[in-house]
Structure 1
Amino acid sequence: MPRHIVIDVRRLGDFGIGTYIRNLVQALARHDKESRYTLVTLPKHSEELAGLGPKFRTAEYSRPDTDVLQNAAFPFFLRGLHPDLVHIPLNSVPYWLQRPYVVTIHDMSSLLYPARGDVRGAMHQERYRRGAARAERIIAVSHSTRRDIESFMRIPTERIRTIYSAPDPVFAQEPDTSQDQQILQRYSIQPPFILYAGTIRPQKNVPRLVEAFAVIRSELENHPLFGQLKLVIIGDELSRYPAVRRAVVATRVEPFVRFLGFVPLNTLKVFYRAATIFAFPSLHEGFGLAPLEAMACGTPVVASDVPALVEAVGDAAELVTPDNLFDVARGLRSVLLDENRRRELSQIGRTRAQRFDWDDTARSVLDVYREITS
C-alpha cells in the first residue's frame, strides 16, 4: 500500500504561504511516484488543484483555518481521510490533531508580534506552541527560523529540519513585456517608483519605509530623473493597519504613495520588473521570499539586515538597519542614485535567486515524509 499523505492547502490564495503550498504540491507531483495525496482545500481552490496527476485528489472543507470552530471539527474531518501522515504547511495546527503530523513554520511572528492581546490571542499562541511541541517533525524555512524555534519553543534540534522555500518559477521566466505598459496604465502608475510587496503587519515596518521615502523625496524634489518618484505598496487591506496611513499623512506624501492591495501573480511580476528598487525593511522574517522574487525579476533590492533576510539574499542586496530611519533612507538613496550599483544588484540578484529551487525543496520534504512513515 502506498503511503497516504494529507496536506492542508486551504491557504492557497494567501500572500507568501500560497506560493509555498502551490509550488510544493506541484513539485511533489513531479518527484513522488510512490505516495498518494489528499489535498484539503476550500471549495474555491479545487479547480486550481486539478491536473496534478492520478495520485492526487482533493477533499473540500468549507471552514478556513482562522475559524475557531474548525479547531474542534477539522481533526475529525482529517481522521475520516485515514492518512498515514498529515502536513500542516503553516504555523496553525488545530487542537486534537491526530499524530503523526509535520508542520512547516515560516517565522515566529505570531509569538514575537501577536496580533491580539485578548483571550483569543492567548489561545492562538497556546495552539501555536502546542502544535509545534506535538509535531513529529518541524520544517523550518531557514536556519534563522530553526534557531528561533529552538530558543522560543524549546523544541529538540533532532526534530527540526531546515528546508528552504524558493521564489515562484513564474518570476524567473523569460518576460513577455508586451502587456506591461497596459497593466501599469490600468493602475495609473508609471516609473520611477519604489515597490514594496507583502503583508502590512507591524513587523513588516512599512511606516518606517514611508518615512524613509518621505526623506528622499524631499531631497530629490528637483531631480531630473526622480523628481516624480513614487512609492507603490502591494499587500493587505490598508484599513486593518492604520499606522501606515498615519505615516503617509504625517509625512505629507499622499500624492506620491499608492496602495494597491493584493494583485494577481502575473501583475505582481510586471510591478517587480518596472520598479526602480524593491524595498523590504522588515523587522523580522522567517526567510525572505519577496526579495528573492524581486531578484528573480532582475530588480535591485534594499533589505533589512535581520538574520533570515541576510541568509536569503546574501550580498546580493543593499542591507540596512530597519529600526534606523536614516539608514533605511541611506540605502534607498545610494541604490537609487547609482546606476552602476543598480545594474550590479540586478545581475547578482538574479544569480542569487537561482540558488533556491522547488524541486530541491520537494525532495527534502519527501525525505521527511519517508523518515516519519517508514
Structure 2
Amino acid sequence: MTGGRDKIKIGIDAKWYFEGPPSGHVVVRNLVNNVLANPLGFDIYLILNSKDKQLARETFDKSVKLIFLPGLPNLLLNMLALPLAARRYKLDIVVYQNFGSFWPAKLFKVAYIHDVLFLDMPKYYTRGERFYFKKMTSLARAANMIITISNHEKRRIVDHQIAAEGDVKVVHHGVDENFKPLSDYPEAEVKEVEERYRLPAQYILYVGRVNVRKNISKLITAMPLIKSKIQMLIVGERGAETSVLQRQIAELDLNNRVIFTGHVPLADLYIIYARATVFCFPSFAEGFGLPPLEAMKCGVPVVVSNRTAMPEVCGDAAVYINPDEPVHIALKISELLGDRIYYAQKVAAGLKHVKQFTWQRAANLLLTLIAEAYAYRKHHS
C-alpha cells in the first residue's frame, strides 16, 4: 500500500491491536485489518507500542506505514507522544482510542469512544477507574469528531454535553467471519475442543468479563428455576467477582452444573460458542454488546437483557429478559428449551439479523464518515 502526497494522511491509534482490553482488542484488530484491505483513498499510518515493533513487522506487509510510540500509559501517550508523532509524520487526521488530545490545532482529531457508561453508572466502576475515564470526556470536547458504537452511547455523549449531536457519529461493530454454525466446523476439531474443556452435552453459555456489571449472579440464581438440568459455561477472564460467584454456586448446590473455563484461545472459543444450546447475556449495561451477535452467527439462540444498547443491537432476533429478575430469566430460557419451533425461529432470526454486522462495513463507514467531516471542515475553515 503506497501513499502519494495527494492522499490524506490518517493515523489510526492501533496500540490495542496485539493486546489490550478484551473488547478494545477485538474492535481495533478487526477495524485495522479491514481498513488496510480497503483504505478508501487514505494514506494509512498505524500507531503502535514500541514493545510490539518486532511483532508488527512480522504481521503487517512492508508497505504498511508504522509509527511506534514509547512505553507510557495510554492516556499520556495520546495526550503527549501521539501529537508529536502526528506533527513529525505530517498527519492530517488521527483516530484516537478513547483518549484524545488538545493539540496540534491543525490536526483533525477523531475520538473513537467505546462507551461512557461510567458517567451514568458509577457504581460499576472503582474510584480509580472513574478518575481515569473522566479525562476521556474532557479530551473528547477538543475532538473535531466523535465516533461511538451505538445510538444509545451517542445519546449518552450528547446528553452529557461532551459533543453536539452533529459531531457524534455511530459505527456499529461487526462480527468476525470465523464465527459460524457447528456444522461448518470439522468434526475432529469439535471433538478436540469438547474433550479439552469437557463440554457438557447441552449448556447455557455466557462469554465476557466476570464482574458485577455483567450480572452473572442473577443468571446463576436462575439456574435451579430452569425446567431442565442443563449446565452452564462461563467463559471469561477470572476477576475479583469469580470467588463471590463460586461461593454462590456452592450455596445453591450447583457445583456440578456451573463451569468456569477462564480465558480461552479464540480458535477454541468459536467452537464453544457453536456447541452451546443457548447463549445468555444478562448484563445490566452495555455500550454495544458484541457476544450476543457472535452467538447468533454461530446459530445459537440468544437471551439478553432488555437494557441500554442491547435492544438496538439485537433487534427482534433475541429473547429479552428483565436482568433484575432471576424468575424471568429462568422462564425465558425454559421457553426456548421447551419449544422446538420457537427455538428454531430464534436461531433463524439470529442468523438473518447478524448479516448486517460486518467489520468491512464498519471500517468503510468509519473512513467515509471521517472523510466527509474532514472535507466539510476544510471547506469551511
Q: For residue 46 of structure 2, what is the aligned residue in structure 1?
A: 39
Q: For residue 223 of structure 1, what is the aligned residue in structure 2?
A: none
Deviation, structure 1 residue 249: 3.2
TM-score, normalization by structure 2: 0.85
- Conserved? CA contact 1:302–1:317, under 8 Å: yes
**In 2, Cα distance between equivalents of 1:196 and 1:25:** 27
> Which of the numbers 202, 206, 224 marks the counterpart of 1:196?
206
Deviation, structure 1 residue 178: 2.6
Q: For residue 220 of structure 2, what is the aligned residue in structure 1?
A: 210
SS in 1 for 2:271: helix
Deviation, structure 1 residue 349: 0.7
**In 1, Cα distance between equivalents of 2:126 and 2:360:** 40
Q: For residue 343 of structure 1, what is the aligned residue in structure 2?
A: 344
- Conserved? CA contact 2:299–2:347, under 8 Å: yes
Unpaired runs of 5+ in structure 1? 221-226
Q: For residue 281 of structure 2, what is the aligned residue in structure 1?
A: 280
Matched, 1:102 2:107: no
**In 2, Cα distance between equivalents of 1:297 and 1:132:** 36
User: How do 1:1-374 residues align onto structure 2 when only pairs under 5 Å count?
Assistant: 1=5, 2-12=7-17, 13=19, 14-32=21-39, 34-42=41-49, 43-44=51-52, 47=55, 53=61, 55-61=63-69, 63=71, 65=73, 70=77, 73-75=80-82, 78-79=85-86, 80-89=88-97, 91=98, 93=99, 96=102, 98=104, 99-114=107-122, 116-118=125-127, 120-172=128-180, 174-216=184-226, 219-220=227-228, 227=229, 229-239=230-240, 242-374=243-375
Deviation, structure 1 residue 10: 2.1
SS in 1 for 2:138: helix
Deviation, structure 1 residue 307: 4.2
Deviation, structure 1 residue 359: 2.1
Q: What are the Cα deviations for residues 196-215 of structure 1, in whole angstroms up to 9, with x where unaligned?
A: 00112322111111111233
Deviation, structure 1 residue 241: 5.0
TM-score, normalization by structure 1: 0.87
- Conserved? CA contact 1:195–1:232, under 8 Å: yes
Unpaired runs of 5+ in structure 2? 376-381
More displaced, 48-57 or 124-133?
Answer: 48-57
Give the letter for the 1:191 counterpart: A
RMSD (Å), alpha carbons: 2.6
Q: What are the Cα deviations for residues 279-320 of structure 1, in whole angstroms up to 9, with x where unaligned?
A: 011111122211011000101111111241111111111111
Give the letter for the 1:339 counterpart: R
**In 2, Cα distance between equivalents of 1:52 and 1:232:** 36
Deviation, structure 1 residue 88: 1.9
- Conserved? CA contact 2:69–2:77, under 8 Å: no
**In 2, Cα distance between equivalents of 1:46 and 1:295:** 36
**In 1, Cα distance between equivalents of 2:177 and 2:358:** 8
**In 1, Cα distance between equivalents of 2:201 and 2:84:** 50
Deviation, structure 1 residue 24: 1.0
- Conserved? CA contact 1:88–1:104, under 8 Å: yes
Number of residues of Structure 1 aligned to a counterpart in Structure 2: 361
More displaced, 233-242 or 294-303?
Answer: 233-242
SS in 1 for 2:356: coil
Give the letter for the 2:48 counterpart: T
